[in-house]
Amino acid sequence: MSMTITRRLALAAGIAGALFAAPAMAQTQMTVLHALPLNSHYGAGAQALKDTLERLTNNRFRVNIQRNDNEREGVESVQIGTAECVITSTGPVGNFVPAVRNVDVPFLFRDYAHARGVLDSDIGQGLLNQFNARGLVGVMWLENGFRHLTNSRREVNTPADLRGLKVRTMENQVHMRAFNTLGAQPTPMAFSELVPALQQGTVDGQENPIPVIVANNLNQVQRYLTLTAHVYSPAVLICNPGFMGRLNAADRTAFMEAARASQAANRARVTSDENTGVDELRRRGMTVTTTVDTAAFQTALAPAFAVYERELDGALLRRIRDWRAQ
């Protein structure tokens, strides 16, 4: 006997009700940390990661961006899983993944094209692969930028002008050796401690890329800027292994596309800040020294370079220096 129309409608309504009552697709909340204001080159990278991942997964992932200006803590948070990812400079990362110290060597990268090309090549991927053994996943190289010197005491034109200056460095042994070799007094500390230390005169100066100096208004506590470009500072998107391991194939594909979008937005903002930042800092009252005797700084660093060749990976350093775009 055919089912009456009434019973068919009742059955259809029951099925529809069961479907709509089904729990909404589970949403994955994730946190991305970084050390700078949202309006910065790291903020641009974090926002692009958020927008792209949420779009590609129809909001099955929700990305919470949080500022933590202690980058060592940020990496530790990802290592223990209290945050899924962090965008950080390589400053403290060499303390977690020693091989990363190789890319912190002064005057190693010729320019932005050289740095970006090396990090996007098998050389960069080889370094990212070394994060796994340290309880981290190196997902994508991003960028902090070429670092320049600021101080509150005097114009710096030559290495001799650095003598005796207390210079805040990141908690980075490669940078500390360099400033010690130049005759300065390197004082390592987390970024979170920098502005109070400059305000209180605990240190005379610091060194950071133009985008960081501009985004954090360091002109308010520093008078002199010297465009030393003494080291290229990579940044890196690091994630928690458990988080990455739980991604299914489709979500991993979406995450890696979001990571590439993050890199593109971050680098574009560095390029933009590099084009406008020095004039902006002049406008804000800084005295800018643009003609720097780079050869004199490189010569003065020779003893440090000898130690890097011995204590870091000399063959890798040569591969990086010899790298050319194909």
The site for ligand EAX (CB under 6 A) is made up of: 35-36, 71, 89, 91, 144, 170, 191, 208, 212, 233
Closest CB to ligand EAX among residues 57, 216: 216
Residue-wise burial string across 3-34, b where 16 or more C-beta atoms lie within 10 A, e elsewhere:
eeeeeeeeeeeeeeeeeeeeeeeeebebbbbb
Closest CB to ligand EAX among residues 56, 170: 170
Least spacing, CB of residue 221 vs ligand EAX, in Å? 14
Closest CB to ligand EAX among residues 144, 228: 144
Least spacing, CB of residue 18 vs ligand EAX, in Å? 51
Least spacing, CB of residue 261 vs ligand EAX, in Å? 20
Closest CB to ligand EAX among residues 73, 84: 73
Least spacing, CB of residue 35 vs ligand EAX, in Å? 4
Least spacing, CB of residue 169 vs ligand EAX, in Å? 8
Closest CB to ligand EAX among residues 112, 323: 112
Closest CB to ligand EAX among residues 192, 298: 192
